[in-house]
Amino acid sequence: MLKIYDTTLRDGTQAEDISFSVEDKVRIALKLDELGVHYIEGGWPGSNPRDIEFFKAVRRQKLAHSEIVSFGSTRRAGVKAKNDGNLKALLSSGTPAITVFGKSWKLHVVKALRVSLEENLEMIFDTITFLKKRADKVFYDAEHFFDGYRDDPPYALRTLAAAEDAGADTIVLCDTNGGTMPFEVADTVREVRRVVAAPIGIHAHNDSEAAVSNTLLAVKEGATMVQGTINGFGERCGNANLCSIIPALKLKMNIDCITDERLKKLRETARFVYELANLPHFKHQPYVGDSAFAHKGGVHVSAVVKSPLTYEHIRPELVGNHQRVLVSDLSGRSNIIYKAREYGVDIESGSPVVKDLLNELKSLEHQGFQYEGAEGSFELLIQKALKKKARYFRLLGFRVIDEKKKENEPAFAEATIKLDVNGVVEHTAAEGSGPVNAIDAALRKALERFYPELKEVKLLDFKVRVLAGVQGTAAKVRVLVESGDARDKWGTVGVSDNVIEASWQALVDSLEYKLFKDRKKAKRILSSKK
């Protein structure tokens, strides 16, 4: 079975405009596990504190399918592997698999490392030999391999031989500069397969808009591991896009890599990562974008209504997408039913609830709501459509004061809130470092007397995105909040042209979801006892 190796959390974060918190990285790892990727590269534990913290945090999670991988370089020149601090950091990360990269191109050996060609070979061999005795799996990334092979084929192949002799489980050929053409990749991988017995992988960058093609051709020539990122995030022009590669492997090349059911989560995963990256979704993205199966031209629409095969290269449902006929949208029911069943709600396709929910969803999305990354808000939306959503409290009003008294002193915020909690009026105030923090504190203070379980809820992350920049400071904003307790994490969303109002919506959903899920769990336990 071909192995999918995701490096969104490491190589993907090297992209301009991409920054994930530790909590973001954990949530993405869990989503990748649901998708069914085999390996998740979590970061470089020897390079920064955030990656060290991630490896600690992810160890507390139970992954059903994926293995976490730590990443680093071969040992330093003149230092034995057993004494190298970076290698010790890799082992201390506790991951079952480790990836190290080394130099394949003489230019880098001489100019960047400033060591002899023989010393470079020894660094590769010594590093992998050392790690293989202490880790379950060791993968070797042959950095700049295609450039190195073009410059000096015999030496580039000697670097692979050093890794193979040391026992590397997979040797990954890297087009690090992203400038290799597909026909070059095919010829080079074919030659490598002729002289290297170890399994081969491919790691392509997209500087020539060829990363996906290069990856698929490498697989055709015998590569059994593909490395890439969700949505093609990565340094410069990005990495090979797994959202294009996975369906191409599965549906076009008939290569087993993930299950059919997991493939249906592809669009959901792509959008989830966009949300946590706080970036707009690329609507024209192949397979998973909003426009991937959208039809507008009259001839196209006429034909596709009769047979989708006329203008669709695959069935969009296979990757979790859906057909759209612009102006009059004919789809969406199956997605609603699919998501509802994920939450344990069984709705028939013909139920009026589906139509009501679909209409509500379209209206909210038109306003700017997006529910990828906001699972808590979406489940509450389903409960509202079913007329089962409980009302735990009602807002009677709030006021927020944001004050800065001196130029060199921080701003100060105070929130006052009045709620009706089951017929009892609760009026309270709280301070905070900012207006959102203050209103969050006041809301909790008002509710915890009635619902003490809300003390368990922690605000883990808070993101704001401007939705219509042309309006300047009057533009609508979308707020995405991540919350958690001792057992779960969930996302909620709010949209408004007032950032405080949008934050209020997301915060209220966060607390209501906590109350909802705790009561749902209690009912399930009670039912099982009966």
Between CA 426 and CA 530 the distance in angstroms is 37
Classified as helix, coil or strand, 524 is helix
Q: In this structure, what are the phi and psi dihedrals at residue 444, rounded to the nearest 5 degrees?
A: -65, -45
Q: Which of 241, 276, 311 is the last residue of a domain?
A: 276
Task: For 41-95, write each residue's pLDDT tens digit.
Answer: 999 997 788 999 999 999 999 999 999 999 999 999 999 999 999 999 999 999 9
Let me know whether 410 and 263 are in one domain: no
% of the chain surpassing 70 pLDDT = 95
355: in domain:
yes
Task: Report pLDDT for 347.
Answer: 80
Do 340 and 369 have their domain in common?
A: yes
- pLDDT at position 470: 53
Of 342 and 497, the structure prediction assigns the larger pLDDT to 497
Q: Are residues 86 and 229 both part of a single domain? A: yes
Confidence of residue 327 (pLDDT cuts 50, 70, 90): very low
Residue 190 has pLDDT above 90, yes or no: yes
What was the pLDDT predicted at 257? 97
* Structure tokens given for 334: 């199956």
Rounded mean pLDDT, 163-183: 98
The whole-number pLDDT of residue 28 equals 98
> Alpha helices of 407-498 — where are they, by DSSP H?
435-447
429 and 344 in one domain?
no
pLDDT of residue 330: 40
Look at residue 298 in the predicted model and tell me its pLDDT: 66
Predicted local distance difference test score (pLDDT) of residue 222: 97
Rounded distance between C-alpha atoms, residue 242 and residue 387, angstroms: 39
| pLDDT at position 89 | 95
Question: Is there a single domain that holds both residue 55 and residue 100?
Answer: yes
Domain presence at residue 379: yes
Task: Considering only the C-alpha atoms of the chain, give the largest distance between any 2 of them, rounded to a whole number of Å.
Answer: 81
Same domain, 134 and 183: yes
Does residue 375 sit in the same domain as residue 405?
A: no
By DSSP bridging, strand 394-403 and strand 324-325 are unpaired
Q: Is residue 229 part of a domain?
A: yes
Residue 520 resides in a domain: no
**Per-residue pLDDT averaged across 315-332, rounded?**
73
Domain annotation covers residue 162? yes
Of the candidates 249, 276, 303, which is a domain's last residue?
276
Closest CA to 299 of 311, 283, 313, 286: 311
- Let me know if residue 507 belongs to a domain: no
The residue count for the chain: 530
298 and 249 in a single domain? The answer is no
Q: What is the pTM of this model?
A: 0.80
Q: What is the pLDDT of residues 462-491, one digit of tens each?
A: 999 988 655 666 689 999 999 999 888 899
In this prediction, residue 447 has a pLDDT band, given cuts at 50, 70 and 90, of: very high
Into how many domains does the chain fold? 3
| pLDDT for res 338 | 66
Q: What pLDDT, on the 0 to 100 scale, is given for residue 372? A: 75
* Residue range 345-353: mean pLDDT, rounded: 79
If you count DSSP H runs as helices and E runs as strands, how many of each does the chain have, helices first? 18, 16
3-state secondary structure 488-513: CEEEEEEEECCHHHHHHHHHHHHHHH
pLDDT of 359 reads 84
pLDDT, position 335: 66
* pLDDT at 276 > cutoff 50: yes
As a whole number, mean pLDDT of residues 121-125 equals 98
The verdict on 327 and 366 lying in the same domain is yes
Is 60 exceeded by the pLDDT of residue 329? no
Note whether residue 337 is domain-resident: yes
Percent of the chain topping pLDDT 90: 75
> Over the chain, what is the mean pLDDT?
92
Q: Which domain holds residue 413?
A: 393-450
Q: Looking at residue 54, which CATH number applies to its domain? A: 3.20.20.70
The predicted pLDDT at position 46 comes to 76
**Domain end among 244, 276, 308:** 276
Tokens of 520: 């749902």
pLDDT of the residue at 204: 98
Q: Average pLDDT, stretch 98-124? A: 96
Q: Is residue 508 part of a domain?
A: no
Q: Are residues 213 and 269 in the same domain?
A: yes
In one letter, which amino acid is 485? D
Cα distance between residue 527 and residue 480, in whole Å: 34
Say yes or no: 320 and 362 in one domain.
yes
Please report where in the chains the tokens 């997301």 appear, as a residue. 506
3-class SS of residue 328:
coil
Looking at residue 296, what is its pLDDT? 73
Examine the pLDDT at 35 and tell me if it is beyond 50: yes
Same structural domain, 198 and 298: no
212-216, 247-251, 519-523, range with the lowest pLDDT: 519-523
At 424, which CATH number? 3.30.160
Mean pLDDT score, 142-171: 98
Count of alpha carbons within 13 angstroms of residue 19, beta-carbon side: 4
